[in-house]
Amino acid sequence: MTQPKVAPSPAHPLAGVLWMLAAGLSFVVMTALVKSLGHRIPAQQAAFLRYVMGLVFVLPMLRPILETRFTARRIGLFALRGMLHAAGVMLWFFAMTRIPLAELTALNYLSPIFVTIGAALFLGEHLAIRRIAAISVALIGAVVILRPGFRELEPGHIAMLVAATIFSFSYLLAKVLADEVSPVVVVSMLSVWVAIGLTPFAIAVWVRPTPYELAMLFGVACFATAGHLMMTFALRAAPLTVTQPVTFLQLVWATLMGYLLFHESVDMWVLIGAGLILGAISFITWREAVVRRRGITPPSPATKV
């Protein structure tokens, strides 16, 4: 006797949009907190403290972790993802203190594009002509943002490009692991392994943090966790085709915070380039919904630390 199919939960587009708005704002506040710390705390140490403090949020997840069967293969994949993500996080923290918030946010939109490319190369997903065209538009958007030859590229720009690439590989590994174990375990193991991976790098450059700096980094951990949680609520409430375009407002928040808090100029080329990238991501997401295939392109905030 066949089991009756469980009806999918009803969509709530407005709730999904509001949750995604809040998630994007949380991620931008997290970035602003890191930027406000300045250069005194090395990027490796700041990233390490963020993840160590964030381990407190893993405690409620201990039961599903203990109930999971950890094979040698799974441990290897968790460790590989953690080491890759640790490298990406260090580069991301470095970039956050060296380039404007709007540029950092815009370049981070490239991660879903790199995920799409990686899925075709390593997971065998079909790369249709429309996807290739969308990827080309996104890469043009990156060139518009960076404008090589027309201005000097900062080390922060290079670091952010490499970080976006690394985060895409981390997401692909997460996709493989999520097919085998609970998503809660995937998230928890990432926090644990990233903290382990960052430990030697943090020790090598350690400076004594002040109570203020520790409080700020704990705030980073809180806003990062809240952002991921609200993003999950958004994806449960409404389809990606509804919530994905809302992520563009994250660039608006970043531009406003950069202008008001850090006196960063508003660069129209960055906004135009980001619009091209996000338009490409939204098109890919829409096409996935149209052909009713399981998409691999994550929403932009999904690749955040």
- Tens digits of per-residue pLDDT, 3-41? 444 344 556 778 888 888 898 899 899 989 988 888 889
Q: What span, in angstroms and rounded, lies between the C-alpha atoms of 104 and 122?
A: 27
User: CB–CB of 96/304 below 8 Å?
Assistant: no
Which residues contact residue 190 at a Cβ distance below 8 angstroms, ignoring those fewer than 6 apart? Answer: 78, 81, 82, 85, 170, 174
Q: What is the predicted pLDDT for the residue at 7?
A: 43
What mean pLDDT do residues 90-119 have? 88
**Confidence tier at 111 by pLDDT (50, 70, 90):** confident
Rounded to the nearest 10 degrees, the angle between the axes of helix 43-54 and helix 13-37 is 130
User: CB–CB of 216/33 below 8 Å?
Assistant: yes
**Confidence tier at 160 by pLDDT (50, 70, 90):** very high
User: CB–CB of 218/56 below 8 Å?
Assistant: no
Q: What is the predicted pLDDT for the residue at 298?
A: 56
Identify the helix (H) or strand (E) that includes residue 98: none
Q: What is the predicted pLDDT for the residue at 61?
A: 79
Q: What is the predicted pLDDT for the residue at 24?
A: 87
| % residues pLDDT > 70 (the chain) | 89
Report whether pLDDT(251) > 90: no
What mean pLDDT do residues 241-270 have? 84
Name the residue type at position 157.
H
**Confidence tier at 234 by pLDDT (50, 70, 90):** confident
What mean pLDDT do residues 103-109 have? 89
Q: What is the predicted pLDDT for the residue at 292?
A: 52
Q: What span, in angstroms and rounded, lies between the C-alpha atoms of 251 and 288?
A: 24
Q: What span, in angstroms and rounded, lies between the C-alpha atoms of 216 and 38?
A: 11
Q: What is the predicted pLDDT for the residue at 117?
A: 84
Of 294, 45, 267, the closest CA to residue 157 belongs to: 267
Query: Any idea what DSSP says for residue 109?
Result: T
Half-sphere exposure of 25 (CA within 13 A, CB side): 7
Exposure string of 210-220, with b = 16+ CB inside 10 Å and e = fewer, is eeebeebbbbb
Q: What backbone phi and psi angles, to 5 degrees, belong to 296?
A: -115, -15
Average pLDDT, the chain: 84
**Confidence tier at 289 by pLDDT (50, 70, 90):** low
Q: What is the predicted pLDDT for the residue at 300?
A: 56
Reported residue count of the chain is 305
Q: What span, in angstroms and rounded, lies between the C-alpha atoms of 304 and 197?
A: 17
Instruction: Please give the C-alpha separations between residue 157 and each of 60, 78, 96, 166, 280, in angstroms, as whole numbers.
Output: 37, 28, 10, 14, 21
